[in-house]
Amino acid sequence: MNHSSTELSVSVIVPVHNGGEKFRRCLASLKEAHLSLGEIIVVSDGDTDGSWQLAKDFGAQVSRFPSPGGPGRARNLGAARARGEILFFVDADVTVPPGTIEQVVMTFNREPDIAALFGSYDDEPEEPNFLSQYRNLLHHYVHQQGCEDASTFWGACGAIRRDVFLAIGGFDEGYVRPSIEDIELGYRLRKAGHRIRLCKSLQVKHLKRWEVVSMLKADFFQRALPWTEIILRERNCINDLNTGVSGRASVMLTFLLFSSLIGSFWQPLALSAAGLMALMLLILNAPLYRFFHRKRGFRFTFQSIPWHWLFFFYSGVAFAVGTVRYVVNHDRLQKRSRPLIREGPPSVETRMERR
């Protein structure tokens, strides 16, 4: 395929499971994006709220799975049925601003040697509650500070050349819940010698509302634990985004801080060590806290710090637990196969059409 073509066609692929009003807004934003260069493909991942019908009403091509199997499987089916030279993956709970599709095409045309690209959430999260603001602003900051010659991939707003995607085998369908199937794909892309571009100006608005339980569950079980498996399996802990050196140092400092606080019950001098660890954490993460202060003020920043340190703490716990699981299940994990992209079993929609 001639990657220098000026008329690259785009297939936007959106996996959805009970998307509700947020999905409607996602579709509306895509419709307003003037998708003159391609198509919109929606894959219903076992939804029960009529999201698939909403997508059809918006004019999207719709495929349906009868039961949930994860966004990786849904994206693979969408890719198998796509006709565009570029596959642009968008989550069902984001909105894309006008000009996004054109920006994706322009970037691939300008840099014909890149295989994939991805962006970030913007700095104006939709939900007003503290955790949603904190979580999305943290994500925005991390991506804006990341290396543009990226080492991973992001499926909420990420595009890849279709021929590369098919050759690499698509997403790992072993992740049956939203997890790190996009990160795992990024590892394989880089391992195969492909270039990935982090486009910091490519931003989408996240509509998701985060609460304490949903955030902790996603961070610990759906991200940190499986990510630990990838790091150990590939023997590659990249110095970028959430696995950068400063993040790893912050995890160690957080453990030392909590250990010192516990030790202070028996040795009061341990409080001095705890104070030193806290000071080092503040200095190490000062750029982020200045960003929070600039965006939301002192109160928000002060409220964010303990949550940020808690994030480092349970990330470290997850890495320890994940390491033990990896050692115990090493042989099984090493033999784990990644299914190549395929047309997949007939969806509900396909069976309906055959009748």
> Residues 6 or more apart from 106 whose CB is under 8 A from it?
none
One-letter amino acid of 275: G
Residue 355's pLDDT is what? Answer: 31
CATH code of domain 10-209: 3.90.550.10
Q: Is the Cα dihedral 198, 199, 201, 202 positive or negative?
A: negative
One-letter amino acid of 294: R
- From residue 99, give the alpha-carbon distance in Å to each of 35, 105, 117, 143, 339: 9, 10, 16, 20, 34
**Strand 195-206 to strand 114-121: parallel, antiparallel, or no bridges (unpaired)?**
parallel
Per-residue pLDDT tens, the chain, 355 aa: give them: 344 445 799 999 999 999 999 999 999 999 888 666 679 999 999 999 999 999 999 999 999 999 999 999 999 999 999 999 999 999 999 999 999 999 999 999 999 999 999 999 999 999 999 999 999 999 999 999 989 999 899 999 999 999 999 999 999 999 999 999 999 999 999 999 999 999 999 999 999 999 999 999 999 999 999 988 888 887 776 655 666 788 899 999 999 999 999 998 888 888 999 999 999 999 999 999 999 999 999 999 999 999 999 999 999 999 999 999 888 876 665 555 454 555 444 444 543 333 3
> Residues 6 or more apart from 49 whose CB is under 8 A from it?
18, 19, 20
Q: Measured in Å, how far apart are the chain's first and last C-alpha atoms? A: 37
pLDDT tens-digit map of 164-222: 999 999 999 999 999 999 999 999 999 999 999 999 999 999 999 999 999 999 999 99
Residue with tokens 């928000």: 300
Residue 73's pLDDT is what? Answer: 97
Other C-beta atoms closer than 10 Å to the C-beta of 106 total 13
Q: Is the Cα dihedral 297, 199, 163, 169 positive or negative?
A: negative
> Residues 6 or more apart from 21 whose CB is under 8 A from it?
none
Whole-structure pTM value: 0.90
**Strand 38-45 to strand 61-65: parallel, antiparallel, or no bridges (unpaired)?**
parallel
- From residue 69, give the alpha-carbon distance in Å to each of 91, 132, 159, 215: 15, 26, 22, 21
- How far is residue 248's CA from residue 239's CA, in Å, rounded to a whole number? 9
- How far is residue 125's CA from residue 209's CA, in Å, rounded to a whole number? 9
Residue 239's pLDDT is what? Answer: 54
At residue 37, the 3 state secondary structure works out as coil
The structure tokens listed for 272 are 């001095």
Residue 244's pLDDT is what? Answer: 72
Instruction: Check: CB of residue 85 under 8 Å from CB of residue 162.
Output: yes
Instruction: Check: CB of residue 250 under 8 Å from CB of residue 257.
Output: no
Residue 326's pLDDT is what? Answer: 86
Instruction: Check: CB of residue 160 under 8 Å from CB of residue 245.
Output: no
Q: Where are the domains of the chain?
A: 10-209
Phi, psi of 66 (to 5 degrees): -70, -20
At residue 219, the 3 state secondary structure works out as helix
